[in-house]
Amino acid sequence: MKITNIKCILTAPANIGLAVVKIETDQPGLYGVGCATFTQRLTTVKAAIEDYLKPLLVGRDPSRIEEIWQLSYQNSYWRNSPVLNNAISGIDQALWDIKGKVAGLPVYELFGGKSREAAAVYRHADGRDPQEVADNVLKLAEQGYQYIRCQLGGYGGIAKQQGAGTKAVGSYNNVGVYGGIKNQTRSPYGAQPGEYYDPDIYCRTVPEMFEHVRKVVGFDLQLLHDVHERIAPMDAIRLAKALEPYRLFFFEDPLAPEDQEWFKVLRQHAAVPIAMGELFTHPLEWRPLIVNQLIDYIRVHISDIGGITPALKLARLCEAFNVRTAFHGPGDVSPIGHAANVHIDVHVHNFGVQEFSGFNEVLEEVFPGCPQVREGYIYPNEGPGLGIDIDETKAAKYPIHNDMAQFSGGAVNWTQSRRPDGTVARP
């Protein structure tokens, strides 16, 4: 059996750009699909796949997954970039899909079978004020979800500045007058356009939000929160301590990958479970946190670390140190990527929870075989391989374009984040 063709399909059925790899073989009708979605750099990933990995891999045996992963990883000499990792991920997932189809088994059976029938998922409850957050938590609970992430006004309470040359507003303008904070301007004249937020107001309003939500919904639901690395390390420590009474399931991405040394301080001062890793692309980012038991959940985006093959190895490392998985699962993961997550989730013993953004009807039409959620659990498709496909004809009806939510003439908007004085900040 030989690889005969590799292509990268770009599509946006939910107005979010997705990259899907399709590997074709010399066996009639046998091919595999994988997710290579790096939404902010889609066309760069496509070039890495078709201009570099395709010439390297066509003619090779697709059953040699480990060898192909290692070869693809080192062939560029410089390695561990998110572009390269996502390109390799699409290849890797497609190869696992092929292997499962050849065996006539779901991919999770190739890992060693199930540890559970389905994976618990968490959904997002956002709101402009604490009551709206609580209302959205209750709506999700009525649908059977037991794990719910709570965010007040988005990450850091984002408020858009309308343009340069005007005053920019603080984050509280987005969440309304709350906690005695009045709307007021806080940025200098001439501040540049961007997504503005106020770390100080964010750190004060989040505990108040959880105080209200817990009074409304009680303590039976598992609540989560995502800092998104937006605040200074000391502010993250103070916020973590303030959230202790509300028994969070986990406190997500409190520190940036560059702030490794602060995790020890955070661990010593706050009894809050820590989830980390959404931006990780290199083993040296996660290994110290795991082996020193400084985190409780690993939050990697599996295509950003290279696909199923490294994700399984990471999960094994985590198991040895009592760290559980909580893989990234936003809208900028294709349904194929979600399917790959679920196959790992139902297999690994140290699974924690799975983030899930949901599928609309168009996504389910373009990607037949999407995994399904029932009463807060997501179930793998029991078909051979990953159990999911892409309809290329339907995918072509939803091309990527520059006026999608994350683009403006090719530039990404939501990562142009700024603090009140206009300083560029982490998204």
pLDDT per residue as tens digits for the range 185-222: 468 888 888 888 899 999 999 999 999 999 999 999 99
Catalytic site residue from 225, 228, 338, 347:
228
Which contacts of 259-263 are long-range, i.e. CB under 8 A and separated by 24 or more positions? Answer: 259/233, 260/285, 260/288, 260/289, 262/233, 262/236, 262/237, 263/289, 263/292, 263/294, 263/295
Task: Tell me, yes or no, whether 301 lies in a domain.
Answer: yes
For the segment 327-348, the average pLDDT, to the nearest whole number, is 97
Task: Tell me, yes or no, whether 150 lies in a domain.
Answer: yes
pLDDT per residue as tens digits for the range 116-132: 999 999 999 999 999 99
Task: Tell me, yes or no, whether 364 lies in a domain.
Answer: yes
pLDDT per residue as tens digits for the range 54-97: 999 999 999 999 999 999 999 999 988 999 999 999 999 999 99
* pTM for the predicted model, two decimal places: 0.93
- Residue 225 annotated among the catalytic residues of the structure: no
Rounded distance, CA 73 to CA 295, Å? 27
> Does residue 166 have a pLDDT over 70?
no
Tokens coding 91: 């290849």
Rounded distance, CA 69 to CA 88, Å? 7
- Residue 347 annotated among the catalytic residues of the structure: no
Task: Tell me, yes or no, whether 355 lies in a domain.
Answer: yes
**Domain span including residue 192:** 111-384
Catalytic site residue from 108, 147, 155, 398:
155
Task: Tell me, yes or no, whether 221 lies in a domain.
Answer: yes
Task: Tell me, yes or no, whether 212 lies in a domain.
Answer: yes
Task: Tell me, yes or no, whether 310 lies in a domain.
Answer: yes
Spell 376-411 as b/e; 16+ CB within 10 A means b.
Answer: bbbebbeebbbbbbbeeeebeebebeeebebbeeee
Confidence of residue 43 (pLDDT cuts 50, 70, 90): very high
Task: Give me the pLDDT at residue 189, please.
Answer: 85
Residue 351 maps to which CATH number?
3.20.20.120
Task: Tell me, yes or no, whether 215 lies in a domain.
Answer: yes
Count CA atoms closer than 13 A to 296's CA, side-chain side: 16
Number of domains in the chain: 1
> Considering only CA atoms, which of 229, 166, 154 is closest in space to residue 193?
166
